[in-house]
Amino acid sequence: MKSISTLPLLLSSFLISTLISNSAFSADSEITETSPEASQEIVKEILPLPLNELRKFTDIFGKIKNDYVEEIDDATLLKYAIRGMLSGLDPHSAYLEPSAFTDLRENTSGSFGGLGIEVGMENGFVKVIAPIDDTPAQKGGIEAGDLIIKLDDALVKGMSLDESVNTMRGEIGTTIKLTIVRTGEREPLEISLVRDTIQVTSVKTVPLDEHYGYIRITQFQVQTGSDFAKGLEKLNKEIDELSGLIIDLRNNPGGVLQASVKVADQLLEEGLIVYTQGRSSISELSFSATPGDSAKGMPIIVLIDGGSASASEILAGALQDHDRAVIMGTQSFGKGSVQNVLALDETHGLKLTTARYFTPSGRSIQAQGIIPDIEVNRAKLSDEKKGAFFREADLAGHLSNDNGNEQPEEKDETNSEEDKKRAMLERDFQLQEALNLLKAIDILNISKGTPEKESMSKVSQDTQVSQDTNAAQDTAPQNKKQK
C-alpha cells in the first residue's frame, strides 16, 4: 500500500499538469490561445488542495484496488474517477478521450459520421435536443424532446453520454434500432435508422413569394456567418423587391459562438450582441455589433422552438432585445452556458463549463431560454375536401357570359417550384403564420408610411395578430396557456 499512501502528492502533480495547457477549444467558440500566465492563475485558484478529502479518496482507491471482485489497473480507476468528477458538475462538462477532439472539430466543420442527432443526458437517458436537417434521424422521424431508452437491444440506463453516442456511431450503411419515449405517445416507439455520412449545410434559402425570403440556419458552424451573407445576397437577386425575411432557427442545436455573433452583426447597426460571465477573468467575453445592416432595416421574423439552443438563443435574444425582429414559435431549449476545452495531452482533453451567456439586456439564457414575442405551437392544417358544388354553368338553359369562352381555365398540375413552396407552407403552420405576420407588417408600413424598424418594434410590443378560425385554436399570445 506504499504506492497508495503517496497518491495525494501524485494527484496534486496530476491536477497541476492537466490545468496548465497551451491552448483551449471552446464548444461554442473558435480555437483560442491561453497564455502560461493565465494557466498559472487557474492553478493558484485551486491550491491548496484538501488533503483530508484526498486521503479519503486514496482509501477508497485502495479498497477498490484490493477488494473489488475483478482486478482493475490504476489507469482505468483514475479514468473512471475523472469521469465521475466531471459528470457530477453539469450535463455539459466531460472528460474527452482520444476520439473527442476529432468529434468536436467535425461537429463544427460540418462533416461527420452518424445519425445526425444533437443529444444530452436526462435522468440517465439520452434526450434528443434536435435532429439535424437532411440526416437519417430527421428523415426517420426523430423529434426534439424524444427520450432514447434503448439502442438496439441495449438499455441506455447506466450508459454514459459518450458510451451512448459511440453506440449510435458506426460503419456507414449499417442499421441501428432506437427505442424512444415521446410525449403524447402511450407506448415506446421503435425507429430503425441507417448510419450515414452527415454533411450539414448550415444555411439554406427559399424565396417564399415575390416579396419575402426564408433563411434556414441548421447549425452554427465556422463558415455560417459568410454563408448567411451569401444567402441574403442570393435572395436579393432572386426577389426583385425583398420586403421581409424569415430566419428559421427551429431545431438548431447551436454550435460556434462567433458564427452567431457574425450573423447578428449583419442585422444590427450597433449595440451589444452577447456577453459572458464566469468566475475567472478569462471566461468574461463581450461582443458588439459594427455599423451596417445587411437587411437594410426590413422586417424580420425569427422562428424558434424547444430544439433551438445555445448559439441559436444568442442570435434570437440579441435581435429580440434590440427590437430588430419579432420572435415567433415556442420557448427555446435554455442552454446558456459556455464550455472551454483544455488540452491535457495530444489525445485527451477536459471540457469544462466556465461561464454563462447573457443577452444585451442582461437576461441569462441558462435553464430559461428565449420566450417568443408571439407563441405559435406546431399544428397540422389541411384544406377541406372539395364538395360536389353546383354552379351557374351547371344549370340547364343558363345565360352565356358573352366572352366566347365558358370553360374555366385548367390549372397546370405540374410539380413546379411554386407548388413546392405552397406544399412547404401547408405542412408548416408556424412558417405560414410568420409569413402572414410579415405581410401584415408590410401592409401597415405602406398604409401608415411607418419606418420598417419602428414598425417591427411596435408589432413585437403592442400588436396582436388576428388569425383565421383554423389558426386561432392552435396559437396564443405570450404568457397565455393553450386550450
Enzyme catalytic residues: 310, 321, 335
Measured CA to CA, the distance from residue 361 to residue 320 in angstroms comes to 10
CB atoms within 10 A of CB 42: 16
CA distance 104 to 343: 13
Give yes or no for a contact between 24 and 253, defined as CB atoms under 8 angstroms apart. no
Strand 203-207 with 196-199, pairing = unpaired
Residues 47, 251: Cα–Cα separation, whole Å: 42
Alpha helix stretches (DSSP H) within 268-330: 311-321
Q: CA 190, 181, 327 angle in degrees (round to 5)?
A: 115
Residue written as grid cell 442527432: 117
> Which residue is associated with the grid cell 435572395?
235
> Which backbone phi and psi does 391 adopt, to 5 degrees?
-120, 170
C-alpha torsion 159→151→249→467, nearest 10: -120
Q: How far apart are CA 174 and CA 208, in angstroms?
A: 38
| φ and ψ of 138, to 5 deg | -70, -40
Burial of 298 (C-beta count, 10 Å sphere; 0-12/13-18/19+): buried
Grid coordinates in use for 159?
450508459
Q: Please provide residue 288's backbone torsions phi and psi, each rounded to the nearest 5 degrees.
A: -125, 155
CA distance 131 to 140: 10
Cα 368 from chain centroid? 14
The rounded distance, in Å, linking the Cα atoms of 13 and 107 is: 33
Parallel, antiparallel or unpaired: strands 374-376 and 326-329: parallel
Cβ proximity of 264 and 247 under 8 Å: no
Question: Which of 359, 349, 282 has the alpha carbon at shortest distance from 319?
Answer: 359
Q: For residue 476, what are the contacts with CB-CB under 8 A and spacing of at least 6?
A: 375, 377, 482
